Amino acid sequence: MTTLVALFRHFISNLQVAEAATASFTMAKLYFYYSAMNAGKSTVLLQSSHNYHERGMKTLLLTPAINQRDGMGKIASRIGLTKDAESFKQEDDLRLLIHRTHEQAPIACVLIDEAQFLSRPQVEQLAKVADQAGIPVLCYGIRTDFQGNLFPGSAALLGWADNLIELKTICHCGRKATMNLRTDAEGEPIKEGEQVEIGGNERYVAMCRKCFVEAMS
């Protein structure tokens, strides 16, 4: 099963590179790859970037400064892959950041981790990067918070992205997981709190809607 999942993710990342590379010669696009927690988003992102580099193309990796779980300016996957990335804050102009980097050395693709933490203006800036600079932008993030509400960045991407692609993972019951349950130190569901609380497997559990509703009841 693990081998099949790895092969599938490698296949998906190759498709992303092929599609984005083709787009760069025609019409670059803004992509949003979304999922519940622990679906391997960062793994797919890093594999896609690696595939570009294998073809002699430069990529720009971006990660929000608010997410320091793996260290500042790092993108890390649960299977042990890690890569340095450029950190950004919500008030940063990503279009300007990308433009300056592109002037130094041409960028074939921009890949953004934890894209749910983008601001709406930044999503609009990324759309302009695709439309006006002709650089494909691939965003990876979760869609909803622990209460089932959309993150602002995800809501903007759902409206502005050219392509929406769901990366799937499963609930403990075997159904497709679409929700993110936040838990305390004892594993009990948390129903109230701030929307943003950085954490991994120790804080969040991916669930299907049915199990999520039952846990929150």
Report yes or no on 174 lying in a domain.
Answer: no
Mapping DSSP to helix (H, G, I), strand (E, B) and coil, where does residue 175 land? coil
Q: What is the pLDDT of residue 185?
A: 79
DSSP letters, 25-84, are HS---EEEEEESTTS-HHHHHHHHHHHHHHTT--EEEEEETT--TT-TTEEE-TTS-EEE
Report yes or no on 103 lying in a domain.
Answer: yes
Q: What is the pLDDT of residue 8?
A: 47
**114 part of the active site:** yes
Report yes or no on 192 lying in a domain.
Answer: no
Report yes or no on 186 lying in a domain.
Answer: no
Mapping DSSP to helix (H, G, I), strand (E, B) and coil, where does residue 111 land? strand
CATH number for the domain that contains residue 9: 3.40.50.300
Report yes or no on 206 lying in a domain.
Answer: no
| CA 29 – CA 23 distance, rounded (Å) | 7
Q: What is the pLDDT of residue 5?
A: 46
Report yes or no on 135 lying in a domain.
Answer: yes
Per-residue pLDDT of the chain (217 residues; tens, 9 = 90+): 445 445 445 555 555 555 554 444 458 999 999 999 888 898 999 999 999 999 999 999 999 998 766 667 788 887 778 888 999 999 999 999 999 999 999 999 999 999 999 999 999 999 999 999 999 999 999 999 888 899 999 999 999 999 999 999 999 999 999 999 988 877 787 877 677 666 556 678 999 999 999 999 8
Q: What is the pLDDT of residue 76?
A: 81
Which parts of 131-208 fold into alpha helices (H)? 152-160
Set 114, 166, 186, 192: catalytic member: 114
Pairing state between β 137-142 and 30-35: parallel
Tokens for 54? Answer: 């294998």
Q: What is the pLDDT of residue 27?
A: 83
- The residues, ordered by sequence, that sit 6+ positions from 188 with a Cβ below 8 Å of its Cβ are none
Domain that holds residue 88: 2-168
Q: Structural domain tally of the chain?
A: 1
Q: What is the pLDDT of residue 72?
A: 73
Q: What is the dihedral of CA 135, 141, 143, 146, to 10 degrees?
A: -160
- Give pTM, 2 decimals: 0.83
| CA 138 – CA 108 distance, rounded (Å) | 11
Report yes or no on 175 lying in a domain.
Answer: no
Report yes or no on 184 lying in a domain.
Answer: no
Tokens for 122? Answer: 């930044």
Q: What is the pLDDT of residue 23?
A: 45
* Nearest Cα to Cα of residue 125 among 116, 107, 113, 137: 137
Q: What is the pLDDT of residue 25?
A: 45
DSSP, res 167: P
**Residue 123 phi/psi, 5° resolution?**
-65, -40
* Angle in degrees, CA 141, 146, 149, rounded to 5: 75
